[in-house]
Structure 1
Amino acid sequence: MQTEESCPVALTELCLTQVCLSLDSLCSTGPDGSLRLHWATLLPQQMADQILYKMAAQGTLNDRTVSIFRSCEQLRLRKACIRSSLLSADAFRHALCLHRLLALDASRVSGGLTGAHILSGLAFNPECRGSLQSLTLTGVQMGWESQDVEERAQAGFSSMQGLRILNLANTDLTDPILEDICTLPQLEWLDISGTPITELSALLGCRRTLRSLTAHSLSQLHMSPSRLLSVLSRLTALRHLDLSDDRSAPYSADFEQDSEVDEAVRLLLEDGSGILPALVSLDVSGRKRVTEGAIEAFVQGRRGLVFLGLLATGAGSCDILSGRDNLKVTGEASERQICESLRRYRERECFTREALIHLYQLTNDMDDQTRPDLLKLVLAGMQNHSESLSVQLVASACIFNLTNQDMAVGMPHPLLSAVVHQVLKAMRSFPGHQQLQKNCLLVLCSDTILQEVPFDRIEAAKLVMNLLNIHMEQTLQRMAVAVISILVAKLSAEQTTQLGADMFIMKQLLGIVQQKAMAGVVDSTLKFALSALWNLTDETPTASRHFIQCQGLELYEEVLESYYTESSIQQKVLGLLNNIAEVDELQDELMDQGLMEHVLSLLQGPRVEVGVSYFAGGILAHLTSRQDAWTLDGTLRHTILEQLHAAILTWALPEREMVSYRSFRPFFSLLQTSQPAGVQLWAVWAIHLVCTQNSVLYCCLLQEEGAVDLLKNLTSDLNTHSDIKGMAERILVTGLSLNTATRGH
């Protein structure tokens, strides 16, 4: 069974995205800079709504692009979403108000567009006055002061006679405007949460039609508990009521008002079924006087109840709730209540944080089971409140608990990819908060995420590298360097070049190597740093040049001498020096008599492992391959070539993978028939090594890059040494056989 996260993106979604990204090529530009679509075909109506929604979601909807909707003959809008878009009043009126809209979501619009502009623009179209059924203005400044009394009367809410749903949460709604709203003849759903309303008596004007009232966090409400309850009790059609309070600020200034609403809530609960008998949904989360006894009285009197909001009340563990399977409850008493809280309160920062805290406590004791359902809820909380440090902090801790160890293995990769994207966004948004950075780093320290999940590894490497600027405990420093090491190894040659261009990264990694070398320790942090530097300079001349400019060569010579008994350290050091030796213009930096003699001593010996010998041989092969560039004693070059040939013949193929290559191109110059035998033999042995360890990958690479022709030239040249010719022939037989088998398959 496929989960939602593992399913491929719908074709419609891909097409819509492409249309939004290609508007410039699909449109002509008018004298004022506005866009007009080239085609004259009338698109299906729903498609027009979807294009507008996608433009708003991608952040590409503005005065210039919204003009494609000026032509109702091409794009007919019915349900328009311009959420969080940057639009002027003129652009809104001329592009969107010409349509016969059924619904408009203008939440958090900016660019000077106010609620007054929106209403006057809609009222400008007589059809909209009767057709518009749903209007959402969450977080929009109303801007009534810019209109005179006559304009306000003509373009007020009451002019939109078809309105059934109205959302004015977190606006500067006033009592007189609420009175105007409550004269609407068909109003069924009203949200006035977070507004400076002081009186709710105006609601009596729509008492026969209002079915849903959301009125949480009314900090300036001035009504006695009895008066408030009296007004609510007369809303006879009301089925859904939200009187919750999720304000995170201290309650000092609003204590009296909070107490009045809390007392009204208590009276409502304790009355049982006497008040608002048709109520099927009640949210009192965050209220201070909710008791288990009051909840029991309320639930017992209402068999048709389908939802009860009790988060941050402490009353979610009431016994009567456990026996009502059809009743959804938000709270902290169980996983089910916590998940319901995360679903219900996605847009409410304080409640999201509260639910995540309880989820974190729950996941601390959870068995190692894969829970994509929980991870998806946490991700939604992070995405909806990406600017909230408190949410990002607890959400990142939850993500670590849900992806730690083997729990990430069974997670859908698209879901994990989205999680990593959000984690990186959190790291970028709060660079100075060490605990959040630690949480995010812990999330990234997952083999499944680092090795298998697609995400921006360059950005991740840079963000993790920035952590090394902060004083960090040894465990976290080790993890950071380990993550960087793995990330760099997974980059393409082009990506490595891009990352290697940042000298800061080189300095940071070399600083760690120097710190460890001065202390004389051998630990995983040192090994990871050496591996990261090795991978960073692989076929990357810029990074190799930065390595030298940052005095890396002098440091590595010291490390070679200090860690002469540590084969794993020597192999990583020599591997990086081999990368530098591959760059013609940097070879002169390695022309040091003492260094060459030291590297030569590592070619063979009873205590020298083949991995150390191999990379020492690579350095010597590259440096001696260009006789015209050799600046040291000629006798030393002759000695190196003789000993290189002899040493290679003693090497045995290692049982485990010792090295990997992105390309065989660095070997091309070494495989020329004019090269000395020792140089040729090292290159052929290197190709033989990797083709033996991973025949499918490297034998195909031989064909693709043209290395087969170079090997054939060696085997056919009469001057080629028999040792080289025999090994080259074995490679060709293996490669050609595999290629034939692959084609046949």
Structure 2
Amino acid sequence: MEADGPQVLCDLCLVQVCSSLEALCSRRADGSLCLSWAPVFPQEMADQLLRKMATKGILNDTTVGIFQNCKELRLRRATIRCCPVSAEAFRLALCPHRLQELDASLVSGGLTGANIVSGLATNPECRSGLRRLCLTGLCVDWESLVEDGVGFSSLQGLRTLNMANTDLTDAALEDICTLPHLESLDISCSAVSKLTALLRCKNTLRSFIGHKLQQLDMSPIRCLSVLSQLHTLRHLDFSEDHFSVDDSDGKDGEETVRQLLEGTAQVLPSLVSLDISGRKRTSEASVRAFAEARGGLVFLGLLATGASSCDILTSQRNLKVTGDANENQVCEALRRYRDRECFIREALIHLYNLTTDIDKPRPDMLELVLNGMQSHPTSLHVHLVATACVFNLTTQDLAVAMPVRLLTSTVTQLLIAMDSFPSQQQVQKNCLLALCSDYILQDVPFDKYFAATLVINWLQIHEDPTLQRMAVAVISILVAKLSTEETAKLGKDVFIMKQLLALVQQKAMAGAVDSTLKFALSALWNLTDEMPTAARNFIECQGLELYEEVLETYYTEPSIQQKVLGLLNNIAEVEGLQGDLMEEGLLEHILSLLQDSEVEVGVRYFAGGTLAQLASRPEAWTLGDEFRSTAMKQLHESIMTWNQLEREMVSYRSFRPFRPLLQTWQPSGVQLWAVWAIHLVCGQNTSHYRSMMEKEGVTELLWALAAHPDTHSDIKELSDSILRMVDQQQNCLPSAKNHTEPQSS
């Protein structure tokens, strides 16, 4: 793990509470949850639990009930951001607490700003003690507040208020500005048309954010006059969405900014932070004049202004700038503008250009890109550029140096993007390019089943050969990484089987020998491994007929023959499907491969496995005893000529298909193939397969086989070798009871 410590443990505990909430609670008559028992939480821990429930997406009218009339959970800094909470649930569960901060941004469930303000106003301690309130994206419903005789001014302790992206009106702003301690106000993207109300709080207001006030109806002179009287103002954001305003619009705002920049230092003398990003008519000369007149300046927002290259901006060491002149400015923009789609989109475009030829790992940049994607999950514009940036930042060896947890979050976000924008070819392409990394697919934990289904669905509507090759490569690796349950679930989907078989047929008809064909064959091989349903789907989709053709067509391609025979081996293991393989022409072809000394051992191994499985059940063999006897004799003779393979040719999910082959009454060819196969994989990974052998009773079968008087000496010798190998591995372990075997893949 990249970060071990108290916070990590605390987070794990909170996650456990969230996942066990139903078990820890009883239900009230209204259906809401109530903790059956709980210790008194440290106050900060109660806030963290509420936040964790919100981020996990489990906070709603039912679960928020645990904070209702609960002395053990005392909230101070509450967040219900983006959660479906109704006005009644909010009133019952949160309003009785002595809240100091509340973030109710983007809450669904019908909760309005009026509900929140009136609910909080019923608690005298909230009226005086609430310091920070965030209602971003909500309907204010000012008229309801007026009717109830309640207003924002009821919350006399408020110091910070965020009303961005609301239907805030001039009348509501008038009420807000009467708050006696108001220090920070955000009315971005609201319906406000006049700023004169700000004069009511000119002696307390230190931060004013008025981004994208497109309904503002004030002359530049009047607007600047109001702003210049805010004597205590230290941060002013008067930025604009440059994508939504063309050259003919916003002239008053541009003129206000120009006059502010070129005015004397007596205008807003306390100002240390100014954001005018998106104001396209800003000149470098006016920026220089402003910066020179204010030596204490710490921040300038100049993204999408064309003025961020001004030389004075780099000469002031303590000055942070958002812009496009260099890496620092672009990264600062991504940090500061996380919630503003227009600026995230603009900054990502510049970041993409900066990372096109990057040769050093930059986890800090990847984190910023990820944050932008997470903040704007439905924005196509953001994801078009962000997914391209992810590819630049994780391509080749760059991903290896990234924190695994960051890569997991990034890949998860890529999958969400693929799922959210199924018809956007460029987004799909970017995500696929980023996913097509051996390190990411093999070593980074993420939902591989979800990824496999997404990529397979992608194959249905895209035929670009290059991308098709990558998609099949990704599927092939992912299928091999799935759990038994996930593989079974995937194998039941006939559509997936048809898609992969169609690819094989397409390549086979063209006589192609490429990685797309090989990856498709590998995916089908893994998909049918100990999966009877998938094997049955394969046959019902005419896969067997296709594979017979492939086997004959690619008789000089051992890598393809091996994958085909590997799948036939899987089918031969399924008792109810063995009859489908009982075709004399097919088995004679397989037998000829087994006998040909010029054929690679890998091909002969799987040819032998298919014959061994079929011959192990005399009642299923329908091609005559003579053919069976000849095949088993040839199998025994062929195996004795095989050299031990150095590379790992095959891995097994379990040894269950081998158990019938190891019975003492089986033909020697059947027994020898099974013992040779076990010897092969144990020699390559003894520690892994030792526990599998013991758990599945294979060790006992080998002992019985070695001790039986009728067992062939060749089989006894190999069995003894396996048992010695396993015994040596056991003796190497310091303590059997303290040793944990790796889990089988």
**TM-score tier after normalising by the smaller chain length:** over 0.9
CA contact (8 A) 1:285 1:310 kept: yes
Q: Give 1:81 deviation, angstroms.
A: 1.1
CA contact (8 A) 2:142 2:172 kept: no
Within-5 A mapping of 1:22-421? 22-39=20-37, 41-147=39-145, 149-151=146-148, 154-246=149-241, 248-251=243-246, 255-256=248-249, 258-366=250-358, 368-421=359-412
1:640 equivalent in structure 2: 631
Q: Give 1:545 deviation, angstroms.
A: 0.6
User: Quick one: distance in 2 between partners of 1:649 and 1:672?
Assistant: 20
Q: Give 1:664 deviation, angstroms.
A: 1.4
Q: Aligned residues, how many?
A: 736
2:743 equivalent in structure 1: none
Q: Give 1:88 deviation, angstroms.
A: 1.8
Correspondence 1:460 to 2:458:
no
CA contact (8 A) 1:164 1:186 kept: yes
Correspondence 1:519 to 2:510:
yes
Listed one character per residue, the Cα deviations across residues 222-269 of structure 1 (whole Å, up to 9, x for unaligned) are: 1111111111110000000000012533538xx44x110111101111
Q: Which amino acid aligns with 1:232?
A: L
User: Quick one: distance in 2 between partners of 1:40 and 1:584?
Assistant: 55
Which stretches of structure 1, 4 residues or longer, exceed 4 Å deviation after superposition? Answer: 6-9
Instruction: State the secondary structure of the residue aligned to 1:468.
Output: helix
Relative distance call for 1:52 and 1:723 in structure 2 (3 A) is same
> What residue ranges of structure 2 are gaps of 5+ in the alignment?
740-745
Q: Give 1:27 deviation, angstroms.
A: 1.8
Query: Structure 1 residue aligned with 2:536, among 525, 535, 545?
Result: 545
User: Quick one: distance in 2 between partners of 1:66 and 1:488?
Assistant: 40
Q: Give 1:742 deviation, angstroms.
A: 2.1
1:732 equivalent in structure 2: 723
With the length of structure 1 as denominator, give the TM-score of the two structures.
0.97
1:12 equivalent in structure 2: 10
CA contact (8 A) 1:72 1:99 kept: no
Instruction: State the secondary structure of the residue aligned to 1:265.
Output: helix
User: Quick one: distance in 1 between partners of 2:619 and 2:629?
Assistant: 14
Correspondence 1:508 to 2:506:
no
Instruction: State the secondary structure of the residue aligned to 2:529.
Output: coil
Q: Which amino acid aligns with 1:282?
A: L
CA contact (8 A) 2:242 2:279 kept: no
Q: Give 1:457 deviation, angstroms.
A: 0.8
CA contact (8 A) 2:242 2:280 kept: no
User: Quick one: distance in 1 between partners of 2:13 and 2:243?
Assistant: 42
User: Quick one: distance in 2 between partners of 1:14 and 1:561?
Assistant: 56
Cα RMSD between the aligned structures?
A: 1.6
Q: Which amino acid aligns with 1:279?
A: L
CA contact (8 A) 2:185 2:209 kept: yes
Instruction: State the secondary structure of the residue aligned to 2:595.
Output: coil
CA contact (8 A) 1:272 1:300 kept: no
User: Quick one: distance in 1 between partners of 2:204 and 2:562?
Assistant: 79
User: Quick one: distance in 1 between partners of 2:252 and 2:473?
Assistant: 56
User: Quick one: distance in 1 between partners of 2:544 and 2:164?
Assistant: 63
User: Quick one: distance in 2 between partners of 1:234 and 1:307?
Assistant: 21
Q: Give 1:8 deviation, angstroms.
A: 9.5
User: Quick one: distance in 1 between partners of 2:450 and 2:302?
Assistant: 41
Q: Give 1:146 deviation, angstroms.
A: 3.6
Listed one character per residue, the Cα deviations across residues 306-350 of structure 1 (whole Å, up to 9, x for unaligned) are: 110000011111100111121110011111000000000000011
Q: Give 1:144 deviation, angstroms.
A: 2.5
Within-5 A mapping of 1:566-577? 566-577=557-568
Q: Which amino acid aligns with 1:290?
A: T
CA contact (8 A) 1:186 1:209 kept: yes
CA contact (8 A) 1:664 1:702 kept: yes
Correspondence 1:592 to 2:583:
yes
User: Quick one: distance in 2 between partners of 1:618 and 1:331?
Assistant: 65
Q: Which amino acid aligns with 1:717?
A: H
Instruction: State the secondary structure of the residue aligned to 2:721.
Output: helix
Q: Give 1:7 deviation, angstroms.
A: 7.7
> What residue ranges of structure 1 are gaps of 5+ in the alignment?
none
Correspondence 1:440 to 2:431:
yes
User: Quick one: distance in 2 between partners of 1:426 and 1:506?
Assistant: 25
CA contact (8 A) 1:700 1:739 kept: no
